Amino acid sequence: MAEVLPLVEARLTTALGEPDARAAVTFLGTDRIEVLRFHEDLQGENVVRYATLGMSVHPMTDPTAMVADPVRGPRAELVLSVRAGLAETDKVLRALAVLAASPQVEGLVVTPGASLDVGDPLWPGAPFTSVLVGEPGGLVEDLELDEPLDPVRFLPLLPMTPNEAAWKRVHGAGALQERWLANGADLRDPHRKSVPLD
């Protein structure tokens, strides 16, 4: 199913421009995951976006299923956006590759509203060890594939502080996103503090 990847990369470059860097990570027993880096100037604000390439080769399958369907099932890639030049965010590459490999390694089905935890800061000094999976379709449109394959969805990752992640477990993803909105949280700030959660 590797022929999916050129289509995925083409969709990413159509939406985000040409990548200015790429790195590959391979974990034992998994396919290679690449992470592409894109720079974008948004009204004078330099934003760097990291997108995985390789997660969508296989559909994600329910770990409780007796037999994994090699064709049907949701497919996704992950996209993280942060303000450039404020932190060593390029070190996030390994964490992103770990998250992208988790469906193969752990049988995870990554869906909007889910929390993904890497257990360590996303980059050196980051106040985040986990991310909230956002809704697809905003930044990069879904990529339709030929039947019977499911479309590839490009899922934005929103970094969460440990307090926000704990609060989200109790109150849900929607409530946390409302808190972010109400407090004007800049989710692209690599040094962002937790929003008030009282």
| pLDDT one-digit tens code per residue, 13-29 | 999 999 999 999 888 77
**What confidence tier does 111 reach under pLDDT thresholds 50, 70, 90?**
very high
Q: What is the pLDDT of residue 68?
A: 65
- Distance of alpha carbon 113 from alpha carbon 14, whole angstroms: 26
The larger pLDDT score, comparing residue 43 to residue 133, is at 133
Give the global pTM. Answer: 0.92
pLDDT for 62 beyond 90: no
Cis ω on the peptide bond leading into residue 70 (within 30° of 0)? no
Q: What is the pLDDT of residue 129?
A: 95
Average pLDDT of the segment spanning 26-54: 88
Mean pLDDT (the chain, rounded): 91
Q: How many CA atoms lie within 13 A of 83 on its CB side?
A: 12
Per the structure block, which two tokens stand in for 72? 């049907």
Residue 65: CB partners within 8 Å, gap ≥ 6? none
Distances (CA, A) of 122 to 14, 125, 136, 190, 195: 27, 8, 21, 10, 18
The kind and range of the H/E element at 6 are: helix 4-16
The kind and range of the H/E element at 48 are: strand 45-53
Q: What is the pLDDT of residues 171-186, one digit of tens each?
A: 999 999 999 999 999 9
List phi, psi (to 5°) of 155: -95, 120
pLDDT for 75 beyond 70: yes
- In terms of C-beta density within 10 A (0-12 exposed, 13-18 middle, 19 or more buried), how is residue 181 classed? exposed
pLDDT for 1 beyond 90: no
